[in-house]
Amino acid sequence: MKWLEIQVTTSQEAEEAVTGILYDLGAGGVVIKNPNDVKELAQTSEWDYFDPSLLEEGEEVKISAYFLITTDITDKVNFLKERIWELKSFGINVGNVKVEVSEVDEEDWADSWKKYYKPLKVGKRIVVRPLWEEYSPKEGEIVIDLDPGMAFGTGTHETTKMCLEFLEDIIKPGAVVFDVGCGSGILSIAASKLGASRVYGADVDEMAVKIARENVKLNGLENVEIFQSDLLKNFRGKADVIVANIIADAIIRLIPDVLPHLKEEGLFLASGIIKDRFEEVKERAEEFFEIIDMKEEKEWLSILMKEKG
């Protein structure tokens, strides 16, 4: 089967936003080639062999999305370009954007992205193991088996790694956890394996929900429920920990709705915040919360909060 490949070259900062736009347009799959991820994986000890050709010059991200060839595909390409340039109005630096279009065979892309992902140690004891890789855990390690479904999260992104490190420290036995914008389900699965009694994860994207459910099943977890929701809209009850690894604009929109869903002395972990947007997020957050801890990696920030007072 022939597919249309639309490859967008953009900045690290715009990676998640552009990926979201491509999925909104109906992409059947997305492959992200981020040079920082490749360089970091090349330095880990888990690689038996590393192909130097994977390392490229520069810091730009290449996002390849695949679409069935239909009569409206030209309109989709034009709409994509408009949406990307609109990101500037949200303060997102899109870099020197380039959009390229070509036809490809399905077998040329369906599995090519998998070569970038190997077992990855995150924090003190979490290991993320892609489904197709073998790994023998060391004593005390928690292994998360993951079929990330291309663009939905493998643990390599700085924001996901910081969340996993925080969760290692804040999840207490028996905790109830809400994972807002769950993507591949990696944070929901981690919370369960770290001792949470119940975990509820949701994403606005139907494909993400499907992938997250599959990953929960893959890990044999009975205490994790995944469903579709726009932020906290479809969540019920209260949690000990609410984690949201999304983008700054969504976090700002989410903040006022967090406290009604948070237990007394509960914690709110927000991630996916680009440094240039931190002051906006901080100003909004401090209307309701006290920031008690923060992690920073490259251009990204994660903040841990509790209710004021």
Six-digit token pair at 186? 């990696």
Is 181 annotated as a binding-site member? yes
Contact 8, 63 (CB under 8 A): yes
Question: Identity (one letter) of the amino acid at 103?
Answer: E
Class level of CATH domain 2-112? alpha beta
- Considering the domain delimited by 118-307, tell me its CATH architecture: 3-Layer(aba) Sandwich (3.40)
Q: What contacts 261, CB < 8 A, 6 or more positions away?
A: 178, 232, 235, 237, 238, 239, 242
Note the pLDDT of residue 50.
Answer: 40
Note the pLDDT of residue 255.
Answer: 97
Note the pLDDT of residue 54.
Answer: 45
Is 266 annotated as a binding-site member? no
Note the pLDDT of residue 252.
Answer: 95
Q: What is the pLDDT along the chain (309 residues), one digit of tens a residue?
A: 677 889 999 998 888 888 878 877 877 677 787 776 555 554 544 444 344 444 455 578 888 888 877 777 788 888 899 999 888 888 888 999 999 998 877 666 556 656 666 788 888 999 998 888 888 989 999 999 987 554 445 556 788 889 999 999 999 999 999 999 998 899 999 999 999 999 999 998 887 898 899 999 999 999 999 999 999 999 999 999 999 998 888 999 999 999 999 999 999 999 988 888 899 999 999 999 999 999 998 778 999 999 997
Domain ranges of the chain: 2-112, 118-307
Buried-exposed string 59-90: b where 16+ CB fall within 10 A, e elsewhere:
ebbbbbbbbeeeeebeebeeebeebbeebeee
Is 203 annotated as a binding-site member? yes
Considering the entire predicted model, what is its pTM?
A: 0.72
> Looking at 171-288, which runs of residues are DSSP E strands?
176-180, 198-203, 224-228, 239-245, 262-274
**Torsional class of 150: left (φ above 0), alpha (ψ -120 to 50), beta (otherwise):** left
Residue 47 CA: distances (Å) to CA of 150, 160, 186, 201: 20, 21, 22, 31
